[in-house]
């Protein structure tokens, strides 16, 4: 028997949600922060800000 009572899953493109690029930027930021690379972490924060405006506005 298969499950027939699953709620419709999110389609993954809701405005404001993280896309693949968001996840890449965040992963780079988190890795830089983990390594103490503040310069790269701050650069990723700025990159994320521009990306959000460009792709999620």
Give contact residues for Zn ion (rule: CB under 5 A).
Answer: 19, 21-22, 55
**DSSP secondary-structure letter at 6?**
P
Select 3 or 13, whichever has its Cβ closest to Zn ion: 13
Select 35 or 50, whichever has its Cβ closest to Zn ion: 50
Nearest to 29 by CA among 42, 41, 21: 41
Torsion of CA 39, 24, 16, 48, to 10 degrees: 20
Smallest gap, in angstroms, from Cβ of residue 21 to Zn ion?
A: 5
Select 3 or 53, whichever has its Cβ closest to Zn ion: 53
């Amino acid at each position: 028997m298969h499950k027939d009572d699953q709620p419709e899953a999110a389609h993954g493109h809701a405005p404001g949600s993280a896309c693949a690029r968001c996840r890449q930027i965040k992963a780079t930021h988190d890795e830089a922060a983990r390594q103490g690379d503040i310069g790269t972490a701050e650069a990723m924060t700025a990159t994320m800000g521009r990306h959000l405006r460009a792709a999620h506005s």
